[in-house]
Every structure is written in structure tokens, then in C-alpha cells.
Structure 1
């Protein structure tokens, strides 16, 4: 039995469907449930680092289960009754060298 268990979040993956007359891409968002995602408040130093690097304020850090093949970068994710936007780049480890069930971390900012 696992001592740590994540929550189910809804990931809104963007899929290119067309282009407008000015060449801007038009996307369709497809909601997908992803189970066992860890959610934790982002620590103060990481908030400052993200703000300095991206200009965006990270609020939570999410850990993605090993083997997940979804696209998280710049997509929206819903948990705790709110919608968040994934920012930055992931911190990722080698699956075989990490003892727990998660190997990828992303930061999210408040959306909307």
C-alpha cells in the first residue's frame, strides 16, 4: 500500500485544428483525467526563481506519475475547483532511479 497518494486532476490538452486569416493557430482543448498527481504549494525560492525567469508567479508544484505521456507544457489543468496554467519547464528524473511513483515536476500559475 502506498503511503503517498495523489489526486485526480483534469488536464486540458491543446490540439491544433486550424489557422485564422492572420496565421494564428486555433486550438481545441480536450479534457483528460490524470490520476495520482501530487500537488504542493511552491516554496518561496522557487516562486522567485520562476518570476525572474518567466515573469509568471508559480503557486503550486505538481508531480506527474511515471509513464505519463500527456503534454503538460503551456496547457491548463484543473484541481481544487480552480483552473491553473502550467508554466516553465519540467524537472524530470530517470524513472528507474527514482523510488516513488512520480518523476516529473511542473509549476502552475493562477489562470484567469
Structure 2
């Protein structure tokens, strides 16, 4: 049996790049490649629960590596040649109590 290994996922984050003449921040999209992310189809029960609670249809669940410190809340991500949007609060477990390389999970919906 081989080791479990994730794929590279591109996280698209808005980064402040300056201020406009009125003093308001200017944001630009920055692409960040995060390696070793597990991607799995969301279970039917979770799809129904998310649809009922949020009105959004969860398609995939991403397992994020333990050492990752990026903000995954309401962000665009790219994998499998498509763009997706994360939604809901990322769920995080206690790093020391989880035996594998992932301790955070987030759900995504199709973005278009």
C-alpha cells in the first residue's frame, strides 16, 4: 500500500497592493500554490446539510496540510482545471492528535 498524497491546489487570495487617491485600499489577486491538498467528493448527507444551512451546494471537501497558515475562508481555489469557491468556516483539529499530514478541512462549491 502506498502513501497517501495530495495534489497541488492554487489558492487565489486578495492582497492589498496600495491605496487609491481617496485612501481606499487597492487589492490584486495573488495565486498561491499549496501542495499536498487532499480532494474528495463531498458525501450526499453533507451536500444536503450544507444546502439546507447555507443555500450553497458543496461539491468537494479539501483536506489542508498541517503546516499551512493561509486563510481559506471565502476564497477562490483552482484544481482539476476549474475554479471553485470555499465557503463556511474551515474546520481544524488539534495537530498533535491527528496522525496524518492534514488537520483542516474546507468545503468548496463550483464557481464558474
Shorter-chain-normalised TM-score: which range? 0.7 to 0.9
Q: Which residue of 2 aligns with 1:15?
A: 15
Provide structure 2 residue ranges, at least 5 long, that are not aligned to the other structure: none
Are residues 96 and 57 of structure 1, via their aligned partners in 2, closer, same or farther at CA, if it must alter by over 3 Å?
same
Q: TM-score normalized by structure 1?
A: 0.88
CA–CA separation in structure 2 for the residues paired with 1:57 and 1:27: 28
How far apart are the structure 2 equivalents of 1:81 and 1:104? 23
The alignment's TM-score, normalised by the length of structure 2, stands at 0.88
Number of residue equivalences? 109
* Deviation readout 1:49-106 (Å, 9 max, x if unpaired): 1111111101000000001011111110000000000011112100000000000000
Q: Which runs of 5+ in 1 are unaligned?
A: none
CA contact (8 A) 1:6 1:38 kept: yes
